Chains A and B, each alone.
Chain A
Amino acid sequence: KNQVEQSPQSLIILEGKNCTLQCNYTVSPFSNLRWYKQDTGRGPVSLTIMTFSENTKSNGRYTATLDADTKQSSLHITASQLSDSASYICVVSVQYGNKLVFGAGTILRVKS
Chain B
Amino acid sequence: DTAVSQTPKYLVTQMGNDKSIKCEQNLGHDTMYWYKQDSKKFLKIMFSYNNKELIINETVPNHFSPKSPDKAHLNLHINSLELGDSAVYFCASSQGPDGYTFGSGTRLTVV
Chain A interface residues toward B at CB < 8 A:
31-32, 34, 41-46, 49, 87, 89, 93, 97-100, 102-105
Contacting residues of chain B (67-106) with chain A, CB-CB under 8 angstroms: 90, 92, 94, 97-98, 100-105
The chain B residue with its CB closest to the CB of A105 is B41
Given A49-B98, A100-B100, decide whether A44 and B43 contact each other with a Cβ distance below 8 A: yes
Given A32-B97, A98-B55, decide whether A42 and B104 contact each other with a Cβ distance below 8 A: yes
Q: How far is the CB of A45 from chain B (nearest CB, A)?
A: 7
Chain B interface residues toward A at CB < 8 A:
4, 31, 33, 40-45, 48, 50, 55-56, 90, 92, 94, 97-98, 100-105
Q: How far is the CB of A39 from chain B (nearest CB, A)?
A: 10
Q: Which of B43, B56, B103 is packed against the most chain A CB atoms within 10 Å?
A: B43
The chain A residue with its CB closest to the CB of B4 is A43
Please measure, in the bound complex, the distance between the C-alpha atom of A98 and the C-alpha atom of B49, giving whole angstroms.
10
The answer to whether A99 touches B56, judged by C-beta atoms less than 8 angstroms apart, is yes
* Contacting residues, chain B, for A34 (C-beta < 8 A): 100
The chain A residue with its CB closest to the CB of B43 is A102
* A-B contacts besides A32-B97, A102-B43, 18 pairs, CB < 8 Å: A32-B98, A42-B104, A42-B105, A43-B4, A43-B92, A44-B90, A45-B102, A46-B100, A46-B101, A87-B41, A97-B56, A98-B50, A98-B97, A99-B56, A100-B43, A100-B100, A102-B42, A102-B44
Q: Which of B55, B94, B100 is packed against the most chain A CB atoms within 10 Å?
A: B100
Please measure, in the bound complex, the distance between the C-alpha atom of A104 and the C-alpha atom of B102, giving whole angstroms.
17
Of the candidates A43, A87, A93, A105, which one forms a contact with B90 in the assembled complex, judged by CB atoms under 8 Å apart? A43
